Chains A and B, each alone.
Chain A
Amino acid sequence: MQSLQDQARSARPATAAAAIRSVFPLLVGIGLALFLQLVVKPNIGDYPAKLALDIGVAISLAVSLTMVNGFTGQFSMGHAGFMAIGGYASGVVSYYGSLRIWGLNTTHGGLLSGRPMSVDPGSLPLIATGDLLFLTALLVGGLIAAVTGLIVGLPSLRLRGDYLAIVTLGFGEIVRVMIQQTSEVKKAEIVPLASDSPFAGQLVYTWKDRGQQVVAPIHDTWWLSDIHHVGGSLGFTGIPKYTSMFWVYAVAAVTIFVAYRLKRSTYGRAFLSIREDEIASEAMGVNTTRYKVWAFVLSAFFAGVAGALFAHTLGVGLSAETAGFQKSFDIIIMVVLGGLGSISGAVIAAIVVTFLPEALRDIPEYRLIIYALALILLMIFRPKGLFGVYEIWDRATWQWLPWLRRGRANFTEKKA
C-alpha cells in the first residue's frame, strides 16, 4: 500500500509531459502573438493594427487590476500611477540605453518589434539586440512598478474600503505631480570636429538646465543621473517605438496566464477569502498582510509592464497625465463591467470599452455619460457585473467540454 504522498504523486506525475501541459495555454498565447505579428499584421491597415494594440494593452491593464480589485477586494483607484511609473522607468532604460549603445534613439529590433516604415522587413532577423533591450526595459518597468506597489500596499493594510480608494487616488496624483517636477529630456548629438567646443568629435548629451544649454559627454555621465531627465510637464519624447502586436499580445497572454493560475492556487484562495470576509479569513489562519501586499505587488508589476508597452507605442505621448485618475477610472470601468474577480470578464470588458470610442465616433461627448449610466445601473440591478467572480467557462453552457469539467474549482460567492 503506497503512502498518501506516493499515491498523490502517482495521480499527478511530475513528468515533462505534465509540465508542458500546464504551460500549454501560455505557449498557445505566445504562438498566437507570433502569428498576429508575422502573418496578420502585414496584411491589415494601420488603423486596425493600432486598435488591436490598444486593446491588448487594455487587456493587460484590466487583468492586472482584477488581481487587486477583483480577487482581493482591495479597491485601488491609483492603477494608472503604476502604469505611468512602468512607462517612465522602461522609457529611461530603452531611450538612454539606446543612446549609450548606439548613439541614436531609433529602434534596433528585429521582425518582432516595431520599426519605422522605411526599414525593409526582409533585411531584419527575427530577434536583434534591440529586442533584448526592449525586453529589459519591460522587465525593469515592471519591477520598479512592483516596488512602488510594495510601497503603496504596505500602508494599505490599515485602511479599509473607501479610505483605501481615496489614498490610492491620492497616490496617483502624487505620482503625477512628481513626474511634473523632473527635468528636460537629454538629447544626444555628435559635436562636429570643426567646432571649438572641448568635446569636438565626441558623442554628447545636450539639454536645457534652467534656461542654459548644457553639454556633457555621454560616457562620462553617470547613468543614474539619466533617471531625472524624463521631460517633466512636456512629456517624455523620443522613446524608441518598440511596441508591436507580438509584444503586446505576448504580455497579455502572460498576464492572463499568471492571473488564471494565481486564482486557482493557494494564493488565489487566500485572495478570494480576504475579499469575502477579511476577519474570518484572518481567523482561519490566512496571513492577510502577506497576501494583500502580494496582490498589490503583482498587480503593480503587470500594470508597469503594460505601461511600458504603452510608452513605446507609436503615436503615444507619455506624459504626467498618464498617471492621473482619468486613466484609472477607465481601467476601473473595465474591471467593474466585466465583473470584479473574473479574468474573462475583464478581458471582454477591456475589448468592449476600448472599442466603444470607435463605435461612438460621432458622439464622443456621450461616451463617458454612457459609461457612467452603465456603472450606476449595473450597481443597482446587477452588482456582480458581467460574470461576477466566475469565468466565462464556468457557465453551464461550456460544461460539456471534458477538460473543463475535470479541473473546475469551487468558488462560492456571497449573495450580494
Chain B
Amino acid sequence: MDQFLQTFKDAIAIGSLYALIALGYTMVYGILKFINFAHSDVVVLGAWCSLVLARTLESQAGTQWTTDQPAPWYIGMLILFAAMAFCGLVGFTVERLAYKPLRKAPKLNVLITAIGVSLFLQNVGQLEGLFGTRPRSIPSLLPDQALFSIGKVSINVLDIVGIGTALILMVALEWLIFHTKLGRAMRAVSHNTTNASLMGIPVNRVISFTFVLGSALAAAGGFLWALKYQQINQTADTSWTLLGLKAFVAAVVGGIGNVRGAMLGGLAIGTLEMFGSAYLRSSMADVYVFGLLIVVLLFRPGGMLGKASIEKV
C-alpha cells in the first residue's frame, strides 16, 4: 500500500510537469497544425535560466542557500516569473524568425526547420560561454522538510509547491482560454485561420501570443524540474529530448489540439511511467510510453478527448 501511495505521489508530480510541457505542444499544434520539435529545448532553457538567476541572486545576497537555510520565499516566485518572461521572449523570436516565413510551406519543411531550431538551441546552450557542458545544481529555494505523511509516505514541501504551481498555472490557462476574449480568439484561430482573420482577429498576433504562452509554460516546467531534481544536465543531453518526447506523447494521448486533453494526458503518461517503473521493469519506462503512443495513434488517433476527424478528399 505504501509503495502504491509513493508511486501515486510520484505519478502526480511528474504528470503535472508533463502536463505543463504538453500544453505548449498542444496549443501550437492546435493553431498551426505542426509539432514544435524545439519545445523541449525551451524547457531546458527555462531550467538553466532559473539556475543562472538563482546563482546570481545568491551571490548578490552574499549567503549560501542550502537545504537548512534556503532562500526567502519570494525569490522562487521571482525566478519563476523571470524565467517565464525570458523563455516567452525566446519563443516569440523563434516563431518570428524561423516559423513565420514557412506558414505556407509544406508540413515537411516546417518539421525540418523545427528540428534545426531544436539542434540550434541545444548546441548554443552548451557553449562554454553560456551554460557549459557540466551538470550543475540549483541552490535550494525551499526548505526540504516533510509537511505531513500519509502512512509511510511523507509529503515534502517541494512536492506541494511543485504540484501546486503546476495546478495554478493550468487553472489560469483554463480561465484564459475559455473565459476571456483573447482565449476565444485563440480558439477561433485554431478552428479556422482564414475565417478568424475575416472576423477581424489579428491572426499573427494571436499566433505569436500562443507561442509566448507555450514557451512560458515550458519554462515553468523547466523551473519546477530544476526545483525538484536540483541537478540539471547540459542542454544537449538526450534526457531533455526524451522528456520533451514524453510530453508530446502526453499531448497526443490526451487529444492533440485540446488543452484539457493535454492536462489529462500529462497525468496519464506520468501514471504509466511511474507505475510501470515501480511494478514492472524500471529500465523499460520509455518503452511503455512510446508503446502507448503507437497504440493510441493506431486505434484512437484523436486521443482521450479528441474526436476522430474524417479527411475530406
Contact = CB atoms under 8 A, between A and B. Distances in A.
B108 A75 contact: yes
Contacts of B34: 162
Interface in B235-256: 236, 238, 241-242, 245, 248-249, 252
Contacts of B115: 329, 332, 375
Interface string B270-290: 000000000001011011001
Contact of A368 (B101, B119, B313): B119
Contacts of A388: none
Contacts of B116: 371-376, 379
A380 B101 contact: yes
Main secondary structure, interface of A, reads helix
Interface stretch (B77-85, B204-212, B291-299): B291-299
Interface in A146-167: 155, 158-159, 161-163, 165-167
B124 interface: yes
Nearest to B311: A279
A181 B241 CA distance: 21
Interface in A261-295: 279
B269 interface: no
Contacts of B119: 329, 368-369, 371-372, 375
A166 B248 contact: yes
B297 to A, nearest CB: 6
A387 B113 CA distance: 18
B111 A165 contact: yes
B117 interface: yes
A326 B122 CA distance: 12
B57 interface: no
Given A75-B108, A376-B98, A166 B245 contact: yes
Given A324-B238, A372-B123, A171 B109 contact: no
B133 to A, nearest CB: 8
B120 A372 contact: yes
A383 interface: yes
A166 B124 CA distance: 24
Interface in B105-154: 105-113, 115-120, 122-124, 126-128
B290 A174 contact: yes
Contacts of A159: 297
A155 B291 CA distance: 12
Contact of A325 (B126, B241, B301): B241
B189 to A, nearest CB: 19
Contacts of A126: none
Contacts of A365: 123, 126-128
Given A162-B111, A372-B123, A167 B101 contact: no
Given A162-B111, A166-B245, A174-B290, A181 B284 contact: yes
A131 interface: no
Contacts of A180: 283
Contact of B293 (A167, A326, A340, A376): A167
Contacts, number: 117
Query: Interface extent on A, as a size class?
Result: 35 or more
B35 interface: yes
Query: Interface extent on B, as a size class?
Result: 35 or more
A127 interface: no
B57 to A, nearest CB: 28
Contact of B123 (A279, A368, A375, A376): A368
B160 interface: no
B102 A380 contact: yes
Given A174-B291, A380-B101, A73 B108 contact: yes
A373 B120 contact: yes
Contact of B112 (A170, A336, A368, A373): A336
B284 A177 contact: yes
Main secondary structure, interface of B, reads helix
Nearest to B35: A162
Contacts of A380: 98, 101-102, 113
Interface string A396-416: 000000000000000000001
- Which of B106, B118, B293, B297 has the largest number of chain A CB atoms within 10 A? B297
A173 B110 CA distance: 23
A383 B109 CA distance: 7
Contact of B105 (A75, A369, A371, A383): A383
Contacts of B101: 380
A386 B142 CA distance: 54
Contacts of B252: 163, 166
Given A158-B298, A173-B286, A178-B287, A326 B238 contact: yes
- Which of A166, A171, A374 has the largest number of chain B CB atoms within 10 A? A166
Contact of B286 (A75, A174, A279): A174
A268 B261 CA distance: 41
B112 A375 contact: yes
Interface in B86-114: 98, 101-102, 105-113
A413 to B, nearest CB: 12
Contact of A166 (B105, B287, B293): B293
B251 to A, nearest CB: 10
A138 interface: no
Contact of A170 (B107, B110, B294): B294
B299 to A, nearest CB: 10
A180 B287 CA distance: 12
A174 B123 contact: no
Contacts of B105: 379, 383, 416
Given A161-B108, A166-B35, A379 B293 contact: no
In the A-B complex, the 10 residue pairs with the smallest Cβ-Cβ separation, listed nearest first, are A375-B116, A170-B290, A372-B120, A372-B119, A376-B116, A368-B123, A379-B113, A162-B35, A372-B116, A369-B123
Interface of A: 73, 75, 155, 158-159, 161-163, 165-167, 169-171, 173-174, 177-178, 180-181, 279, 324-326, 329, 332, 336, 340, 365-366, 368-369, 371-376, 379-380, 383, 416
29 contacts: A155-B297, A159-B297, A161-B111, A165-B35, A166-B248, A167-B293, A167-B294, A167-B297, A170-B249, A170-B293, A174-B287, A177-B287, A180-B283, A181-B283, A279-B313, A325-B241, A326-B238, A332-B112, A371-B119, A372-B119, A372-B123, A373-B120, A375-B115, A379-B102, A379-B105, A379-B112, A380-B98, A380-B101, A416-B106
Given A173-B287, A181-B284, 7 more contacts: A174-B287, A368-B119, A372-B120, A373-B120, A376-B113, A379-B109, A416-B109
